[in-house]
Structure 1
Amino acid sequence: MLKSRNKGGGRQHSPRTFDNSQIDERLYLGTIEKGMVVLDAFYANPRPMTLTEVTAASGLSKSAAQRVLYTLRALRYLTQSEITRQYALSSRAMDIGNAYLRSNPLVEATFPFLLEASRQSQETVGLTELDSTDVVFISRVPSRRIVSSYVGVGTRLPALATASGRVILAYLNPKMADQIVETSDLSALVGPGVTDPSALLAELGKIRAKGFAVVSQKANLGDISTAAPVLGYDHEVVAAVTIVASPARWTVQKVEAELSPIAIETARQLSKVALHYRRP
């Protein structure tokens, strides 16, 4: 298994790390890991890259990176410019993500509820799931008031920097929540707010008591967001409904008074759907 993924560093961003403590090395295929590390390098650096840049971003040796790039290009997950020799993700790279969305019963079944929440709030409404220390948008209805393109389906944000991430952590098994807080990069929190782990854990307790979270300008300096948990099988938290508003039109107090009830009611309706949905 790969130990380091940041050789050469430079301006390249390293792929996400993962918890390998439970891996059975008898069954684990390192060659597949190398392929996924290269694909993750393109996620972390969303632009065409040369072999040298992919090597720096992935932490692989140059020869290993070259073999992986050749294979992914042959399988049509990557393209390569004949002029610049740079590699880029192809449209086929979207297939896995699209297959996930089609196979996730929450996405299609709950979209009408998100649409109604957006109509009521006149703001952007999204559905997020937790993945390690991040939340990922799996559905989204943008506001009609303004064009907001920086967050789309598939966008990944630090969980502790978002209302949806915090509300999921608040309803998560306490040991799992503690582990996520301990392993999160707290430097990702921008703007005003605490970054002390013990203070964050205390904040999660308050969020669970209220039933919703409000976060102002932490994942992005232009947002105030509120979120409520979607509870599924055995009342385990499976997702969160989030409403994102602009500080130009909203204050934290107004979001809490007017938008949080919409998020809570929408999450309650989605929970009825999610009760029949159990992840393997």
Structure 2
Amino acid sequence: MMLENRSKGRTGVNSPASFAKPDIDERLYLGTIEKGLLVLDTFCANPRPMTLAEVSAASGLNKSATQRVLYTLRALRYLTHSETTRQYSLSVRAMDIANAYLRSNPIVEATYPYLLEANKQSKETVNLTELDGSDIVFISRVPSRSVMSSYVTIGTRLPAYATAPGRAILANLGSTERNEILVNSSFPALTSYTVTDREELFERLDEAREKGYAIANQEAMLGDISTAAPVFGYDNKVVAAVNIAVSTANWTVEKVEAELSPITVEIARQMSKVASQYRRV
């Protein structure tokens, strides 16, 4: 599946991320569920209270369908509604699905001690990420005590091409799978440092595969340098990446590569031994 970039429309709301659908059996496919999840995805793309009109504009559903979906999700307690502002918001119950995913993913629990060890060695923020479409998603995290990095939390999603963990994963996918994700993708500049040239990006991926780690310098976030190494699971397939993220106020790319990349590579190697025990669908 290929994740399309979110876009902001005239109303100032972001369209939810969308994926190319696989071949589906129309006899089994429920369009009503698709509409409900589309509305929930709209709140993920716009993490703030929204009116019916805003949800309709962002999701692309007409107002009548949007109203029915909002009413249903409110009745099921996935949304709350303010009678004063007439805005809808995600409820605390919406966290249940994400929490269930983290609890059901054995790799998250099994590798957490290794994140702690990497944090202890580096005294910096350490993350575990997975690839979803053309994005990476942060699924586990041990923050640095000395640097506040509130812009990233569990569940944060970033374009893989502009991040060290994304490149570490992409570099170790099979060529067919990697090309399906990247060949038809665009690479907008997230910062002035983002690599947007397709040929240069593929060269960075080849380099990451050869070295065993990737480095990104302020390409997704200004002031952030990250180094990452791939985590391999069952059948030696890449399943995640571990990365250490630091501030440019205290680190240079050269220092990160010399001192932190070896830590990520070794921790990823240890994690791979654990992750290879779990066969995931």
Q: Give the shorter-chain TM-score range.
A: over 0.9
Using the alignment, how far apart are the partners of 2:61 and 2:225 within structure 1?
A: 39
Does the residue aligned with 2:171 lie in a helix, a strand or coil? helix
Q: Which residue of 2 aligns with 1:221?
A: 222
Does the residue aligned with 1:97 lie in a helix, a strand or coil? helix
Aligned Cα RMSD in Å? 1.5
Q: Are residues 6 and 72 of structure 1, via their aligned partners in 2, closer, same or farther at CA, if it must alter by over 3 Å?
A: farther
Q: Which residue of 2 aligns with 1:82?
A: 83
Shift of 1:149: 1.1
Using the alignment, how far apart are the partners of 2:101 and 2:279 within structure 1?
A: 15
Task: Give the aligned length.
Answer: 276
1:97-246 to structure 2, matched below 5 A, reads 97-246=98-247
Paired residues of 2:9 and 2:15 also in contact (CA < 8 A): no
Larger CA deviation: 177-186 vs 156-165: 177-186
Shift of 1:188: 4.4
Q: Are residues 120 and 13 of structure 1, via their aligned partners in 2, closer, same or farther at CA, if it must alter by over 3 Å?
A: same
Shift of 1:8: 6.0
Q: Are residues 181 and 89 of structure 1, via their aligned partners in 2, closer, same or farther at CA, if it must alter by over 3 Å?
A: same
Q: Which residue of 1 aligns with 2:265?
A: 264
Shift of 1:277: 1.3
Does the residue aligned with 2:14 lie in a helix, a strand or coil? coil
Shift of 1:183: 3.7
- Residue ranges of structure 2 left out of the alignment (5+ in a row): 1-5
Shift of 1:205: 1.0
Q: Which residue of 2 aligns with 1:66?
A: 67
Q: Which amino acid aligns with 2:135?
A: D
Paired residues of 2:162 and 2:195 also in contact (CA < 8 A): no
Paired residues of 2:164 and 2:227 also in contact (CA < 8 A): yes
Q: Which amino acid aligns with 1:175?
A: T
Using the alignment, how far apart are the partners of 1:49 and 1:193 within structure 2?
A: 31
Paired residues of 1:122 and 1:143 also in contact (CA < 8 A): yes
Using the alignment, how far apart are the partners of 1:123 and 1:47 within structure 2?
A: 30
Shift of 1:175: 1.1
1:13-28 to structure 2, matched below 5 A, reads 13-28=14-29
Shift of 1:178: 1.3
Larger CA deviation: 60-69 vs 192-201: 192-201
Paired residues of 1:133 and 1:183 also in contact (CA < 8 A): no
Q: Percent identity, aligned pairs only?
A: 66
Paired residues of 1:7 and 1:56 also in contact (CA < 8 A): no
Paired residues of 1:9 and 1:57 also in contact (CA < 8 A): no
Q: Which amino acid aligns with 1:265?
A: E
Using the alignment, how far apart are the partners of 1:86 and 1:68 within structure 2?
A: 14
Paired residues of 1:137 and 1:153 also in contact (CA < 8 A): yes
Using the alignment, how far apart are the partners of 1:251 and 1:160 within structure 2?
A: 21
Once the two structures are superposed, what CA deviation does each residue of 1:31-57 show, in whole Å capped at 9, x if it has no partner?
111001100100100000000010011
Does the residue aligned with 1:243 lie in a helix, a strand or coil? strand
Q: Are residues 261 and 278 of structure 1, via their aligned partners in 2, closer, same or farther at CA, if it must alter by over 3 Å?
A: same
Q: Which amino acid aligns with 1:275?
A: S
Q: Which amino acid aligns with 1:20?
A: K
Once the two structures are superposed, what CA deviation does each residue of 1:42-94 show, in whole Å capped at 9, x if it has no partner?
01000000000100111100000000000000000000012111000000000
Q: Which residue of 2 aligns with 1:41?
A: 42
Shift of 1:7: 10
Once the two structures are superposed, what CA deviation does each residue of 1:92-124 show, in whole Å capped at 9, x if it has no partner?
000000000000001111111101101110110
Q: Which amino acid aligns with 1:107?
A: V
